[in-house]
Structure 1
Amino acid sequence: MLKDFKPVLGILLRFIIIYLVLLFGYQFYLNSFKAQGLDPFSRLIADHVVLVQNALNYPSRLYDDVPNEQMYFYVKDKTVTRMVEGCNAVSVIILFVAFVFAFYKGTKTFVFIVAGLVALYIMNILRIAGLNIVTRDYSQYNKIAHDYVFPAIIYGSVVILWMIWIKFFALKNENS
């Protein structure tokens, strides 16, 4: 009977191992920047958000708050939101990568992961910029945007990428 579940258990075990390795690696990365405030990857995202907002005619600047490991977005002469480590979507990216590797299919796995990471990075930049704009101009919708709409965008993007991976790549040979 256990023989029937062997493929599923293999996928699950691969997912758990990859997820834990990436999670612990990320935590090690974060710990190495503890005294410097917000980590470099989160800062890069914040910088790109400012570029997008400036391009959309929402003049923006960042203010560093090193002791509290955060940065504030100053948009159109108003402090609107703050960037913390959790905004960088790395935890979601780790889930994405672990899931895709769980259904490993050779070289196309790496290609799909790179393409997915680029898509998720861009989606996250647009998500944060959108949240800043909503908070700046439509503050009455800030809570629903922050708690529901914008998380649904990033998690929805991951689920769509997973579905694409499974349907068109991971199970393609089995369906043909």
Structure 2
Amino acid sequence: MKALFIKYKSVLKFILTFLLVYIGLSVIYKLYLNASVGSQYYPDYVTNLVAYQSEALLNTIGYSTEVVKHPHEPSMKLLVRGKYIARIIEGCNAISVIVLFISFVISFSGKFKSTVLFLLSGSVLIYVVNLIRIVILSVGLYHYPWRSEILHTVVFPAIIYGMVFLLWMLWVNRFSNIGKKNG
């Protein structure tokens, strides 16, 4: 048994680090969401920000867009040219995806400075790509509402998780200690 632990030490370290960081950040995020209840930002600050930034981007590309509080649930209604297109919920703000990204990067440690810079730049990139995917989805739903299922369940996740996967591969192959050992 001891030989197995020694043989798979790096795998076990990755799994344990990943789980600890993921659970820790998830608990912090849940505390943030609980503290957001009743704040001036509906449903929470980040989701509110994502909704209004998506509105601004859609307006910039020529789609007259309005975001309003949903009267019956914690979400923001997205209206394009007066037509209700989608709702922006807490899950649309990319924070849970960023938590997953951070957990993975920390699990494959690198130099402190490169890790922090990669976490910051990667998180910003994920956030921006998330805004772009909301815009793409909104335009797609406006023009092709009958394609909502494929847009939301295939295209929408493929964009954001594809970006995260590319960042992970970049991290492991260029910056982490593992990539340096293998390269």
Q: 1:101 to 1:137 in 2, by over 3 A?
A: same
Name the SS for the 2:49 alignment partner: helix
Shift of 1:89: 1.6
For residues 98-152 of structure 1, the C-alpha deviation after alignment (integer angstroms, 9 at most, x for no partner) is: 0000112121011001110111011000011111111111112111101111111
For residues 55-98 of structure 1, the C-alpha deviation after alignment (integer angstroms, 9 at most, x for no partner) is: 11001111112651111011112111111101112111111000
Partner of 1:27: 30
Q: Are the equivalent residues in 1 in contact too, given 2:174–2:180 (CA < 8 A)?
A: no
Alpha-carbon distance in 1 for matches of 2:143, 2:24 = 41
- Segment of structure 1 superposing worse, 5-14 or 49-58: 5-14
Shift of 1:35: 2.9
Aligned mate of 1:154, from 160, 166, 175: 160
- Segment of structure 1 superposing worse, 8-17 or 19-28: 8-17
Alpha-carbon distance in 2 for matches of 1:159, 1:66 = 36
Identify unmatched segments of 5+ residues in structure 2.
none
Partner of 1:139: 145
Aligned residues: 176
Percent of aligned positions that are identical: 34
Q: TM-score scaled to structure 2, two decimals?
A: 0.92
- Tell me the amino acid that sits aligned with residue 44 of structure 1: L
Q: TM-score scaled to structure 1, two decimals?
A: 0.95
Q: Are the equivalent residues in 1 in contact too, given 2:173–2:180 (CA < 8 A)?
A: no
Q: Are the equivalent residues in 2 in contact too, given 1:38–1:66 (CA < 8 A)?
A: no
Partner of 2:113: 107
Alpha-carbon distance in 1 for matches of 2:14, 2:182 = 18
Q: Are the equivalent residues in 2 in contact too, given 1:15–1:99 (CA < 8 A)?
A: yes
Find out whether 1:58 has 2:50 as its counterpart.
Answer: no
Structure 1 runs of 4+ with >4 Å offset? none
Name the SS for the 2:8 alignment partner: helix
Find out whether 1:8 has 2:37 as its counterpart.
Answer: no
Q: Are the equivalent residues in 2 in contact too, given 1:39–1:85 (CA < 8 A)?
A: yes
Alpha-carbon distance in 2 for matches of 1:173, 1:116 = 20
- Segment of structure 1 superposing worse, 60-69 or 39-48: 60-69
Identify unmatched segments of 5+ residues in structure 1.
none
Alpha-carbon distance in 1 for matches of 2:161, 2:98 = 10
Find out whether 1:122 has 2:128 as its counterpart.
Answer: yes
Shift of 1:166: 0.4
Aligned mate of 1:79, from 84, 109, 113: 84
